[in-house]
């Protein structure tokens, strides 16, 4: 059944006869000696792929003497000593530890293809890329590919609770069956590792940042070691969240004060125990002094002192700390946007060598559109990891088709001007590799026990796009989308083209029908789906985010207001601060404006706002029409799944549009222009 379980690793038969023939010629024989679990996994994947794509089994050979025309060779200088005598050998120097080469070559006048790497994991990555070439119907003649990841730590941060639920997860329950671990290893774990390795993910935090201390208890560590065993051949290390109060909660101490010698010793002992069970354990991810979580500030210590406590314990084993910078005060007079920067910027340079500070992509909280977080470009002496959300907490859960590659690219390609023009967020992240020897990108995944992993089939594209960008943060979202569609649906133009159009318009459509012109955080207070700009309670209200009155709407974050614009380097600061140059997509994020303010179109702010909401709904209808052209061109099962969800999305888009406009209209006192169907009062 076409239920989506196989993700982009479907390996569907090549239909075009001449293409098929040309591919088969390249695989007359296979020469892949395996001496490790990783190479075994690579070979197994290769065979699975070739069987599916070419419906053909290659002859296996065991030595260089048997090489024949049309042999595919894969390995490292260790697994394949003969590599040293080939023309690809010297090119291996250009790769990082995890990189690979794919090259057409000749050995003793016989045409062969070589997948080579310095390490076994590089070979596995090369195999996935090689299969991708065939999945996307590219020529295998004259290959000369050399590729290495541009970021070192390519992380998924699961928000999985130990009871099997997933915080902000919309695709079923947690994949981890803790009750049966470590003795029963669900085969699905292996498929999960394959999917992640195919896009370069090399680290998985197993549990929620809203942490439970018991995940660090011996019995749970033993369970986690079972997952580490499954993931290891695929180059994936496991990490755990560390609850700062663990020494108190499970360690029998009366404090978790980082200055207390017993606390320091407890963490050292705990880490030692972990490495005894999981020799390649990755490290800790920590949410501290944020939304009620315990942290070093409980003891008058700084975030740096807290992070370094864990960093020092992990250091002897090569472990890493990811310390989140998602902090804000629950006080209404403090602009939430400025807090992360204000707390962390002064600590630049105080974090240990194996510590990342991890802000979210923007300064509020995974909104449909945010300007990049101003810490990027402002902490040159501290390696920063960036956290994206792949799960669509504020982007329609698993009900809306929203391709996030576009959002990721928008943030990564934003220019911070930290070292002049061209210092994009992506370059900032990559630069830490040079200055600190480490670099990272993290994503909160959207996977669960749903048959298709992500709830909405198109959620798979967001997982795929995140992985590709963690490997190379300068890739273009449209190129990634094209790869994904070809592997997931078809390479045929009549399928590819409409799906690409849907994907590329989908994120802006979502912004239009939910939070256009820089509006943010007006979603339902609890579920974070659907509109609730009217939310108003004494502690924390949607009014703090839009500040609507009869005169105006938006938040003044210029130098006259909260000064958030000052957190950006010039000329970004000037661009945002000046109403004349502030992009309209961030207008109400940075500026507070009267309802009759004239937009670039010449329309009033009110009429422009109405236009965006109506346009968003129309765009969803256009997505439906594009999707309908696929009827009969793809399998019915996936066709109907997406068609049904697009209908649902249209209804929710109308809910958003009408909910927001009817609410804001009470303040603007202006009509919905008559050209539009009028919102339904219900
Ligand atoms: O936006 C909020 C989410 C919380 C989440 C928090 C965070 C894990 O609604 O569910 O908690 O962000 O990122 O820490």
Domain ranges of the chain: 17-147, 153-488, 511-555+592-668
* pLDDT tens-digit map of 644-669: 999 999 999 999 999 999 999 999 99
Give burial (CB, 10 Å; 0-12/13-18/19+) of 109.
exposed
pLDDT score at 1: 76
pLDDT of residue 679: 84
pLDDT at 218 over 80: yes
pLDDT at 443: 99
Q: Which residue has the tokens 């995140």?
A: 466
Q: Integer distance in angstroms from the first to the last C-alpha of the chain?
A: 41
pLDDT of residue 56: 86
Which mutation among 393, 394, 445, 446 tests ligand 1's pocket best, with the greatest number of atoms within 8 A of CB? 393
The crossing angle, in degrees rounded to 10, of helices 187-198 and 218-231 is: 60
3-state class (DSSP) for residue 650? helix
pLDDT in tens, 489-548: 999 999 999 999 999 999 999 999 999 999 999 999 999 999 999 999 877 799 999 999
Active site residues: 291, 365, 393
Is it the case that residue 681 has pLDDT exceeding 90?
no
Six-digit token string for 265: 């010793």
- Per residue in 444-496, pLDDT (tens digit) is 999 999 999 999 999 999 999 999 999 999 999 999 999 999 999 999 999 99
Give the pLDDT score at 538.
78
Alpha carbon distance 663, 365 (integer Å): 23
Task: Give yes or no for residue 256 having a pLDDT over 70.
Answer: yes
At 331, is the pLDDT very low, low, confident or very high (cuts 50, 70, 90)? low
Q: What's the pLDDT at 29?
A: 96
Residue 274: its pLDDT value, please? 99
Atom of ligand 1 nearest to the CA of 528: 9
Q: Is 385 helix (H, G, I), strand (E, B) or coil?
A: strand
- Nearest CA residue ID for atom 1, ligand 1: 365
DSSP collapsed to 3 states, 450-504: CCCCCCCCCHHHHHHHHHHHHHCCCCCHHHHHHHHHHHHCCCCHHHHHHHHHHHH
Which of 365, 367, 443 is the best mutation target for the ligand 1 pocket, counting ligand atoms within 8 Å of the beta carbon and taking the most? 365
- What's the DSSP call for residue 85? G
Atom of ligand 1 nearest to the CA of 393: 9
Mean pLDDT of 555-560: 98
Q: What would the pLDDT profile of 607-622 be if each residue is shown by its tens digit?
A: 999 999 999 999 999 9
DSSP structural state of residue 20: H
Tokens describing residue 645: 């969800």
- pLDDT of residue 208 exceeding 90: yes
Q: Strands 385-389 and 355-358, how do they pair?
A: unpaired
**Which residues are near ligand 1 (CB < 6 Å)?**
159, 167-168, 209-210, 287, 291, 326, 365-366
Tell the CATH topology of 17-147: Chitobiase; domain 2 (3.30.379)
> Pseudo-torsion of CA 377, 383, 385, 386, nearest 10°?
-10
pTM of full prediction above 0.95: yes
Number of neighbouring beta carbons within 10 Å of residue 212: 18
ipTM of the modeled complex: 0.99
From the alpha carbon of 291, which atom of ligand 1 is closest?
14
| Confidence band of 682 (pLDDT split at 50, 70, 90) | low
Tell me which fold the domain 153-488 belongs to. Answer: TIM Barrel (3.20.20)
- What are the DSSP calls for 593-633, one per residue? EETTPBPTTS-BHHHHHHHHHHHHHHHHHHHHHHHHTTTTT
What residue's CA is closest to ligand 1, atom 12?
365
What's the rounded Cα separation, in Å, for the pair 467 and 405? 10
Q: Which H helix or E strand runs over 107?
A: strand 100-107
User: What's the residue count for the chain?
Assistant: 682
Whether pLDDT at 678 is above 90: no
Q: In what order do the strands lie in the sheet with 440-444?
A: 355-358, 320-324, 283-286, 237-241, 203-205, 153-157, 440-444, 385-389
In words, the CATH class of domain 511-555+592-668 is: alpha beta
Average pLDDT, the chain: 97
Atom of ligand 1 nearest to the CA of 360: 13
142 CA distance to ligand 1 centroid (A)? 48
Query: Strand, coil or helix: what is 4?
Result: coil
- When pLDDT is cut at 50, 70 and 90, the band that residue 330 belongs to is low
Cβ-based burial of 156 (10 A; exposed 0-12, middle 13-18, buried ≥19): buried
Helices and strands in the chain: count of H runs, count of E runs = 19, 16
């Amino acid at each position: 059944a076409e239920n989506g379980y196989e993700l982009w690793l479907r390996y569907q038969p090549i239909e075009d006869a001449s293409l098929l023939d040309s591919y088969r010629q390249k695989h007359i024989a296979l020469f892949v000696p395996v001496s490790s679990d990783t190479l075994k996994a690579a070979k197994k994947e290769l065979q699975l792929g070739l069987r599916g794509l070419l419906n053909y089994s290659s002859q296996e050979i065991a030595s260089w003497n048997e090489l024949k025309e049309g042999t595919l060779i894969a390995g490292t200088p260790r697994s394949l000593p003969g590599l040293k005598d080939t023309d690809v050998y010297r090119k291996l120097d250009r790769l990082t530890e995890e990189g690979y080469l794919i090259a057409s070559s000749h050995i003793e006048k016989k045409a062969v293809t070589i997948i080579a790497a310095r390490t076994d994991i590089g070979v596995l990555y090369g195999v996935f890329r090689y299969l991708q070439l065939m999945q996307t119907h590219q020529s295998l003649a004259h290959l000369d590919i050399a590729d290495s990841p541009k970021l070192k730590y390519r992380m998924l941060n699961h928000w999985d609770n130990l009871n099997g639920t997933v915080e902000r997860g919309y695709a079923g329950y947690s994949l981890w069956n803790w009750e049966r671990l470590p003795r029963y290893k669900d085969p699905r774990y292996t498929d999960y590792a394959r999917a992640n390795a195919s896009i370069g993910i090399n680290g998985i935090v197993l549990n929620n940042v809203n942490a439970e201390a018991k995940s660090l208890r011996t019995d749970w560590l033993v369970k986690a070691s079972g997952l580490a065993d499954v993931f290891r051949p695929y180059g994936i290390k496991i990490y755990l969240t560390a609850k700062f109060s663990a020494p108190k909660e499970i360690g029998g101490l009366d404090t978790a004060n980082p200055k207390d010698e017993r606390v320091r010793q407890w963490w050292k002992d705990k880490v030692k125990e972990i490495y005894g069970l999981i020799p390649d354990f990755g490290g800790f991810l920590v949410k501290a002094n944020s939304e009620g979580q315990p942290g070093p500030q409980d003891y008058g210590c700084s975030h740096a002192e807290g992070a370094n406590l864990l960093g020092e314990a992990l250091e002897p084993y090569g472990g890493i700390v990811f310390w989140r910078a998602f902090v804000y005060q629950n006080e209404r007079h403090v602009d939430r946007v400025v807090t992360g920067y204000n707390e962390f910027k002064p600590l630049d340079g105080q974090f240990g060598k194996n510590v990342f500070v991890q802000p979210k992509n923007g300064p509020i909280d995974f909104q449909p559109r945010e300007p990049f977080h101003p810490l990027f470009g402002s902490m040159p002496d501290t390696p920063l990891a960036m956290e994206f959300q792949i799960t669509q907490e504020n982007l329609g859960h698993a009900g809306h088709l929203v391709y996030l590659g576009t959002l990721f690219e928008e943030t990564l390609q934003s220019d911070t001007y930290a070292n002049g023009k061209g210092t994009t967020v992506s370059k900032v992240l990559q630069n830490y590799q040079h200055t600190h020897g480490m670099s990272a990108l993290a994503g909160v995944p959207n996977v669960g026990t749903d048959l298709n992993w992500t709830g909405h089939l198109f959620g798979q594209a967001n997982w795929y796009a995140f992985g590709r960008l963690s490997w190379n943060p300068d890739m273009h979202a449209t190129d990634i989308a094209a790869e994904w569609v070809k592997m997931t649906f078809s390479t045929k133009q009549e399928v590819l083209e409409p799906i690409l159009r849907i994907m590329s318009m989908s994120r802006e459509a979502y912004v239009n029908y939910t939070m256009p012109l820089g509006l943010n955080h007006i979603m339902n207070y609890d579920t974070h789906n659907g509109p609730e700009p009217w939310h108003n309670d004494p502690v924390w209200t949607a009014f703090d985010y839009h500040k609507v009155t009869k005169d105006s709407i938006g938040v003044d974050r210029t130098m006259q207001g909260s000064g958030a614009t000052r957190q950006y380097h010039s000329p970004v600061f000037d661009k945002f601060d000046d109403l004349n140059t502030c992009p309209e997509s961030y207008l109400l994020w940075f500026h507070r404006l009267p309802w009759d303010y004239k937009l670039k179109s010449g329309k009033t702010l009110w009429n422009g706002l109405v236009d965006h909401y109506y346009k968003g709904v129309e765009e969803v209808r256009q997505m439906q029409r594009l999707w309908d052209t696929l009827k009969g061109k793809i399998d019915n099962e996936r066709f109907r799944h997406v068609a049904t969800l697009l209908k649902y999305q249209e209804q929710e888009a109308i809910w958003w549009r009408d909910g927001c406009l009817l609410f804001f209209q009470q303040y603007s006192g202006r009509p919905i222009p008559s050209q539009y169907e009028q919102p339904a009062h219900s």
